[in-house]
Amino acid sequence: MSGKIFPTAQDAQNAFYEALERSDLEAMMAVWSEDEDIVCVHPAGQRLAGQVEVRQVWRQMFAGGPNMRVRITQQVVIAGVMLEVHSVHENITVEGEKLPRPPMVATNVYLRTAAGWRMIAHHASPAPGQPAPPPPPASPKILH
């Protein structure tokens, strides 16, 4: 069991994004529940279930070292006594890229355990583009 205790779901979420930015596998896995009933879906990725699959993909992602910054915006929290759901926009900047990436929409689910709050699900996908503005009104046809 991880020695790290997260007193609130927000503390666990902050630790999740800090570990992501630092490419720190042990810090990342300290956020996750140690139960096998965890699920992670990365953008355009398959569903990963259980500790082994989740750890392996984070290890692969972190192999290149830290190279990104994540700014969270538009957070919506649905809070209960034992469960919290955080819906956020992840604004990711990758070192060396000139153009900003479109935001990701992520849902993070946290469970209150005897060892504090732990993540049990993370699902991220590209945010849909902004809707195109409506076309300008057609000019009235005038007959002379």
pLDDT at 128: 80
**Statement: residue 89 has pLDDT above 70:** yes
Q: What is the mean pLDDT of residues 109-127?
A: 95
Q: What is the pLDDT of residues 6-15, one digit of tens each?
A: 999 999 999 9
pLDDT at 132: 47
Q: Do the strands 47-49 and 104-113 form a parallel or antiparallel pair, or are they unpaired?
A: unpaired
The answer to whether the beta carbons of residues 29 and 58 sit under 8 Å apart is yes
Domains of the chain plus CATH, in order, are 9-126 (3.10.450.50)
Determine if residue 135 is left, alpha or beta; phi over 0 gives left, psi from -120 to 50 gives alpha, anything else beta. beta
Spatial distance between the Cα atoms of 142 and 82, rounded to a whole number of angstroms: 66
Q: What is the pLDDT of residues 37-84, one digit of tens each?
A: 999 999 988 999 999 999 999 999 999 888 889 999 999 999 999 999
